[in-house]
Amino acid sequence: MSKLILILTAQILLLTATALAGKNGEDFARTINRKHLGLGKKEKLTHLRVYWHDIVTGRNPSSIRIQGPVAKYSSSSYFGSITMIDNALTLDVPINSTVVGQAQGMYVGAAQKEIGLLMAMNLAFKTGKYNGSTITILGRNTVMSKVREMPVVGGSGMFRFARGYVEARTKLFDMKTGDATVESNCYILHY
């Protein structure tokens, strides 16, 4: 009986050692063929012009402040504020023009001496050949500047492995309500 236990214990130890031998910390990564991910194609440059509507008022606002600014900066720069967005993306300035997707994400008051926002958002397209595709924007938006440039840091669907930049221009701003319409010219390199 003790020989049987000794043999079984030896077999368990041998199996455990064999299983652990392949777990040297290097088997989680591998090199793959670029063509398997569609990267064998020539890279394209796409220009998209869309308008996103930042609606903070009314019964169904598309932008909701979830954290107010630090009291000291509440009226000057909005430093410390966090706003979540699910804004309509349209083909033209009027909010009732054709909707092609949503700008979803957040903007955060990140500057103490000016209105400077950290933008983190996806432009999620819902129509046409880009339906289901997104581009991801992460960058600084100094709202009072005529043109703001923010990087495109990635994407999905037709914009997989995307990179590029967005030029944002405020087209409409209502001083009473805070509602705004922003034109985004997106220049995207993708496969």
Give a yes or no: residue 19 inside a domain: no
C-alpha 117/C-alpha 113 separation (Å) is 12
Residue whose C-alpha is closest to residue 80's, from 55, 113, 112: 112
DSSP 72: G
CATH code of 179's domain: 2.40.480.10
DSSP designation for 14: H
Q: Let me know if residue 179 belongs to a domain.
A: yes
* Residue 160 resides in a domain: yes
Res 85: pLDDT: 98
Tokens, residue 37: 């991910």
Tokens 């979540």 correspond to what residue?
84
**149-186 tens-digit pLDDT:** 999 999 999 999 999 999 999 999 999 999 999 999 99
Whole-angstrom distance between the N-terminal and C-terminal Cα of the chain? 66
Q: CA 104 to CA 126: how far, in whole Å?
A: 13
Q: Are 114 and 120 in contact (CB under 8 A)?
A: no
Provide the domain limits for residue 151. Answer: 41-190
> Is residue 9 domain-resident?
no
Name the average pLDDT for the chain. 89
186: left (phi over 0), alpha (psi -120 to 50) or beta: beta
- The structural domain count of the chain equals 1
Residue 145 vs residues 76, 139, 141, 142, 185: alpha-carbon distances, Å: 15, 14, 8, 6, 15
Q: What pLDDT, in 10s, does the model give residues 9-61?
A: 656 655 565 555 555 666 778 888 878 777 778 899 999 999 999 999 999 99
Q: pLDDT tens digits, residue range 106-151?
A: 999 999 999 999 999 999 999 999 999 999 999 999 999 999 999 9
Residue 148: which H helix or E strand, with range?
strand 148-156
Structure letter (DSSP) for residue 159: G
